[in-house]
């Protein structure tokens, strides 16, 4: 099974369980920028008091949902992990946090058509704001890619607002100053 197939199986299961989600991480930056490989799929889910195990009946036997909640040290959020037989690829289900931008990113999610179905992604602007907060090496690469491809189509006032809130405006300006626009 391809990583996109696995990710779509989980999205189909979330839809069947009526659990709202947004597909984030490299899948969202790949959509708005230049694609790169990945070893996981990241989704933010809103359980609204329901147990994550409500998802389990909708998953095939080859996908294993760990009901144990983990704390993620980069994003400081809680997550559950789905592992898949015979692969190192995994799907991480991050809980929607109370963080103001996390809430806004989830509220602003957009529906796009990809991989043969409708899926929920954050906006390109929210990908940039989030990647600036995490700022791992791969996040910098993703930022350069998304900014280069999307360029003037982005709502820079919105991005600047959140970067000012998070103290990441200087990092954004530095990254923007060194990348030329990329033709899509």
Residue 181 has pLDDT above 70, yes or no: no
Sign of CA dihedral 133, 123, 6, 79: positive
The whole-number average pLDDT for the span 76-93 is 93
* Reported pTM: 0.93
Question: Which pLDDT score is estimated for 182?
Answer: 59
Q: What is the pLDDT of residue 183?
A: 59
- The secondary structure element, H or E, covering residue 112 is strand 110-114
Q: How far apart are CA 125 and CA 69, in angstroms?
A: 29
Domains of the chain and any CATH numbers:
3-177 (3.30.460.40)
Whether 131 contacts 139, CB under 8 Å: yes
pLDDT of residue 137: 85
**174 has a pLDDT exceeding 60:** yes
Q: Does residue 2 have a pLDDT over 60?
A: yes
By the 10 Å C-beta count (0-12 exposed, 13-18 middle, 19+ buried), 93 is classed as buried
Q: In percent, how much of the chain has pLDDT > 90?
A: 84
Q: Number of C-alpha atoms within 13 angstroms, CB side, residue 74?
A: 13
What is the mean pLDDT of the segment spanning 9-31?
Answer: 97
Q: Stretch 38-67: mean pLDDT, rounded?
A: 95
Pair type for strands 117-121 and 40-45: unpaired
């Amino acid at each position: 099974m391809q990583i996109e197939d696995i990710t779509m199986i989980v999205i189909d299961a979330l839809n069947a369980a009526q659990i709202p989600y947004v597909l984030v991480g490299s899948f969202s930056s790949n959509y708005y920028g230049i694609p790169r490989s990945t070893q996981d799929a990241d989704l933010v889910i809103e359980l609204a008091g329901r147990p994550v195990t409500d998802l389990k009946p909708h998953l095939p036997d080859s996908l294993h949902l760990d009901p144990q909640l983990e704390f993620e040290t980069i994003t400081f959020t809680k997550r559950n992990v789905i592992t898949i037989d015979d692969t190192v690829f995994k799907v991480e289900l991050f809980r929607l946090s109370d963080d103001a931008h996390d809430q806004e990113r989830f509220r602003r999610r957009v529906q796009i058509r990809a991989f043969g179905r409708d899926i929920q992604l954050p906006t390109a602007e929210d990908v940039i704001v989030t990647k600036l907060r995490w700022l791992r090496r791969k996040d910098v690469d993703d930022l350069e890619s998304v900014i280069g491809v999307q360029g003037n189509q982005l709502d820079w006032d919105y991005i600047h607002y959140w970067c000012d809130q998070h103290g990441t405006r200087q990092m954004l300006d530095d990254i923007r100053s060194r990348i030329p626009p990329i033709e899509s």
